[in-house]
Chains A and B, each alone.
Chain A
Amino acid sequence: MKQLSLVPLRKTNQLPTNVFHGKQPFTLLLTLLLAMMLLITGCSPAAPAAANEPAGTPAAESTAPAVAEANTPVDPDAEIVLAGRRNLAPGERDAYYCSSILFVWEPLVSQDSNASPIPGLAEDWEMSEDGHQWTFHLRQGVTFHDGTPFDADAVLANFERMGGEVKTSSFYPLHVDTHYPNLQEVLKVDDHTVQLVFSQPAPTQLYNMVNFGSAMYSPHNFSEDGYFNGLAQGTGPFRLVENVLDEYLVLERNEDYYGEKAVANTIRIRVIPDVDTRFAAMKAEEIMGVLDLSAITPALAEELVKDERFGLSSTKSTMIRFLIPNGTTFPFDDVRMRQAASLIIDRETFVNELHHGFGTPTTNILNYSTPFYHDIPVAYDPEKAKALAAEVLGDQRMPITFYVNGGEPLQKTEAELLSVWFSEIGLDATIQVMEWTAVREEMKAGTHHLARAQQGLSNSEAATIFRRFMLPDGDQNVGYRLGYDNPRVNELMAAVDGELNLDRRHAIYQEIQEISAEEQPIIPLFNDVTLLVFNKKLANYDAQVYGLDLPAIGWAE
């Protein structure tokens, strides 16, 4: 040990003797250091008493601290800073440039809180008796942010753009066939009227057109390849004035907006990918609220609202979380096994324990945010589940492979809880954590027995989901290896195509939902919620099915 040779050096050195020698000063110093650390962490402003807001309740009114600060004048035009996990305006090479929740662009047809179509830039419409033509009467006196008037020519330019090659997006791919199946032509009737002509009856076309389905931009906003040549120029209550990718974007109130103007003058939306950092930024009051999908986890939201500076807002979302059984192989090719797996799941416990009550248990394949949703009681019957499983497995136990997406850490915990229940019906699950793309590939190869997935709604037309999951050639039915084929469903879906009567259509959809709950082509777990948190210095921060009512938010008085 060569360093031992230093000992004589230490003994003979002539340096001034340091006052701190031996163990005592070292202990003293260590104590001081620890005391300082405690001082720094311990003297932090204590979180005010818990607000005791039950999960899922709308935002509470401002409480004491906000009232105290009300004495200081609030500048209503001061910039509001919010944050989300991703770019809400991915930019020129995105088919939509930015998300609908920024209120920069507007659709021809919007939707209400029940996802029913309501007037957007089209203020009125009618369908021909045979369902082949839809005529839209456009709102007058509307201009795009670049000053171009919104009229029938602008609508035609947008449809022309949609008719080109499919354009990719962070939101939904843009192509005319996606939102306007069987569209033959788009006609300009007059300056403020357009007509869509379809080769097949299209009675529910409005549901296909809501929001992303009929986004309108200035005709001068498009590049040669159909993307964008600069900042998005819509007609909405906010103008996009700055967009720094991966960092922030800035919205300004559109003073020329034809409708009710936005309350906030300027809103900055930062990109903060990590949810813990968003939480910290909320606590530090660097941001006043979060928005977009997965804005905050239920656990962090509950933690945040223990501090009465913060409020929480939630409402139903278009997302449904479910299990994918491989219906092309044993044991889930037997409907009784799918039923057993569904009946053994205590969904109330699942949602309450793992998702803090933010979600609604369901066995229905259709998300609860569409107007066609039929509420079906959720069955939980362990005894029946065991009996059904015994009929399929006999007295054997069955090892199964259960894939979960590693990108969502909670999925593994979910899978562990589900595995405990599944073991009661003779299924011994091996949980494999992979990234989602790899899970998709495994499912295509059919190596799974179960996988965890989720599905949003690109539009509120229920047939889209039934077609994709329940028809034998549906892309999700094939891609997930659901192996689902029910002649009655096929018959009902064939009938839907020509059905112009909305009540009869409702009845068909209801029957299909009941079949889905009975046969479980997928095993739904719960309908998700849009969950937002905000600082109570803001007013009207109310969650919507997708996003929030951004034009309504402003500084509280």
Chain B
Amino acid sequence: MGLYVWRRLLALVPVLVGISIIAFALGVLAPGDPAEIALNRSGLYTPTPEQIAQVRSELGLDRPLVVQYGHWFQNLLRGDLGTSYTNGRPVAGELLRRLPLTLQLAGSAFMLTCFSGLFFGTLAVVFHREWPDRLINLMVNLLLSFPGFWLALLLILVLAENRSLLPTSGTGTLAHFVMPTLTLSAATSAIAIRLTRASLLQEMGKPYMLAARAKGLHRFRLVATNALPNALPPVMALLGNYLGGILGGSVVIESIFALPGIGSYAIEAIFTRDYPALQGYVLITGTFYVLVMLLVDLLSVMLNPRVRLGGASSHG
């Protein structure tokens, strides 16, 4: 197991270097001169060619691309992600400033998704083809039908604007996170419910469940304790992917609810061709993603002994 973990960790290094190179290349290939954009952030003023040349020189943009990338990578090893082209602040500091909020939001959305996915998915199977199952199905279809931004605006309209139960936006209290969490979790919760239900139903049809039923186990216990652990791996893979995704922040949710997380930082960096900010963002989120995937893989191994380390699996 230890060797497997180390091998996986080592495999991360080329992946992350690859991600950083691609991100760097994308930033460079994208149209737009960062120096010009830095000088004209308001969009109302066009700098002179001399001013652009001066800023290009200050930012090191007049050096060969390989040199620029090498310089960035060297600093990275020292924990320095560079300085933002557009606001002159250290990228690492800016990401660290925004990261707690993104983690808070991602954590709460993830927990809600896990809970709703497992709870309602299990409930739907316990009451298969009865009214709770139908109600859950309806809820799932509704949640899947709502685009995230629309759900966010609907929640704001009902819970904040009309009923004044929650603040419309911003940070500060737990109440500020209720609507963003619901919005961020909605669609994936629905998928998790559906997947849990389908996976459980598959398990319920297997011979060992017939034996369990024959013992006269309570319906809930039958599903929750016997079938659920075996039905979990596909749900975990889904939740792992989801967590990896939302750790990168959600541009739409952060924008609508005025949450200054790393998602909004990334989109701002894209618009302003802020290469150092983009590279820092990609590096952080890429690292998160591959670590989460690693964790999911390890949990899968722990949960399902049939999975052999190294990718082989037994059949029986």
Min CB gap B313→A, angstroms? 20
User: CB within 8 A of B51: which of A10, A30, A175, A277?
Assistant: A175
Asked if residues A168 and B135 are in contact (CB atoms below 8 Å), the reply is: no
Q: Given A21-B131, A274-B255, does the pair A165, B46 have CB atoms closer than 8 Å?
A: no
Contacts of A177 in B (CB 8 A): 48
Residue of A nearest to B138 (CB): A30
The verdict on A449 contacting chain B, using a C-beta distance below 8 Å, is: no
Q: Given A227-B88, A270-B258, A274-B255, does the pair A284, B160 have CB atoms closer than 8 Å?
A: yes
The verdict on A29 contacting chain B, using a C-beta distance below 8 Å, is: yes
The verdict on A353 contacting chain B, using a C-beta distance below 8 Å, is: no
B172-185 contact mask (Cβ, 8 Å, vs A): 1 or 0: 00000000000000
Asked if residues B260 and A441 are in contact (CB atoms below 8 Å), the reply is: no
Count of chain A residues with Cβ under 8 Å from any Cβ of B? 72
Contacts of B258 in A (CB 8 A): 247, 270-274, 277
Which stretch, A104-112, A355-363, A432-440, A500-508, touches the partner chain B?
A432-440
Q: Given A169-B41, A280-B160, A437-B271, does the pair A14, B201 have CB atoms closer than 8 Å?
A: no
Tell me the A244-278 residues at the B interface (CB within 8 Å): 245-248, 270-274, 276-277
Asked if residues A166 and B54 are in contact (CB atoms below 8 Å), the reply is: yes
Asked if residues A168 and B38 are in contact (CB atoms below 8 Å), the reply is: yes
Contacts of A71 in B (CB 8 A): none
User: CB within 8 A of A276: which of B41, B54, B256?
Assistant: B256
User: CB within 8 A of B204: which of A6, A273, A286, A456?
Assistant: A6
Q: Given A3-B201, A29-B135, does the pair A455, B44 have CB atoms closer than 8 Å?
A: yes
The verdict on A510 contacting chain B, using a C-beta distance below 8 Å, is: no
Tell me the A465-487 residues at the B interface (CB within 8 Å): 468, 475-476, 479
Bound: A391/B173 CA distance, A: 67
Asked if residues B51 and A173 are in contact (CB atoms below 8 Å), the reply is: yes
Bound: A12/B41 CA distance, A: 70
Asked if residues B257 and A277 are in contact (CB atoms below 8 Å), the reply is: yes
**The 7 A-B residue pairs with the shortest CB-CB distance in the complex, in nearest-first order:** A2-B205, A44-B162, A246-B260, A93-B88, A456-B44, A441-B31, A3-B201
Bound: A272/B98 CA distance, A: 16
Asked if residues B271 and A21 are in contact (CB atoms below 8 Å), the reply is: no
Q: Given A2-B201, A26-B134, A165-B58, does the pair A280, B46 have CB atoms closer than 8 Å?
A: no
Which stretch, B213-221, B281-289, B292-300, touches the partner chain A?
B213-221
Bound: A284/B129 CA distance, A: 42
Residue of A nearest to B84 (CB): A93
Contacts of B43 in A (CB 8 A): 436, 454
Total number of residue pairs linking A and B with CB closer than 8 Å: 179
* A–B complex contacts, Cβ < 8 Å, 14 sampled: A9-B213, A10-B130, A25-B131, A45-B162, A91-B89, A93-B89, A169-B42, A170-B42, A274-B255, A277-B256, A280-B169, A284-B160, A286-B160, A286-B168
The verdict on B170 contacting chain A, using a C-beta distance below 8 Å, is: yes
Contacts of B219 in A (CB 8 A): 9, 13, 15
Q: Given A44-B162, A270-B170, does the pair A5, B204 have CB atoms closer than 8 Å?
A: yes
The residues of B with any CB-CB pair to A shorter than 8 Å are 30-32, 36-49, 51, 54-55, 58, 86-89, 97-98, 125, 127-131, 134-135, 138, 153, 156-158, 160-164, 167-171, 201-202, 204-206, 210, 213, 216, 218-219, 255-258, 260, 264, 271-273
Bound: A171/B42 CA distance, A: 5
Q: Which of B43, B219, B271 has the most CB of A within 10 A?
A: B43
Min CB gap A4→B, angstroms? 8
Bound: A281/B271 CA distance, A: 27
Contacts of A457 in B (CB 8 A): 44
Q: Given A13-B219, A277-B156, does the pair A247, B171 have CB atoms closer than 8 Å?
A: yes
The verdict on A458 contacting chain B, using a C-beta distance below 8 Å, is: yes
Asked if residues B46 and A437 are in contact (CB atoms below 8 Å), the reply is: no
Q: Which of A45, A276, A441 has the most CB of B within 10 A?
A: A276
Min CB gap B161→A, angstroms? 5
Asked if residues B271 and A435 are in contact (CB atoms below 8 Å), the reply is: yes
Asked if residues B40 and A173 are in contact (CB atoms below 8 Å), the reply is: yes
Asked if residues B256 and A274 are in contact (CB atoms below 8 Å), the reply is: yes
Residue of B nearest to A475 (CB): B46
Asked if residues A166 and B32 are in contact (CB atoms below 8 Å), the reply is: no
Bound: A62/B264 CA distance, A: 38
The verdict on A542 contacting chain B, using a C-beta distance below 8 Å, is: no
Asked if residues B205 and A277 are in contact (CB atoms below 8 Å), the reply is: no
Asked if residues A245 and B45 are in contact (CB atoms below 8 Å), the reply is: no
The verdict on A40 contacting chain B, using a C-beta distance below 8 Å, is: yes
Contacts of A165 in B (CB 8 A): 54, 58
Asked if residues A437 and B260 are in contact (CB atoms below 8 Å), the reply is: no
Bound: A479/B205 CA distance, A: 69
Q: Given A93-B88, A93-B89, A280-B157, does the pair A247, B260 have CB atoms closer than 8 Å?
A: yes
The verdict on A311 contacting chain B, using a C-beta distance below 8 Å, is: no
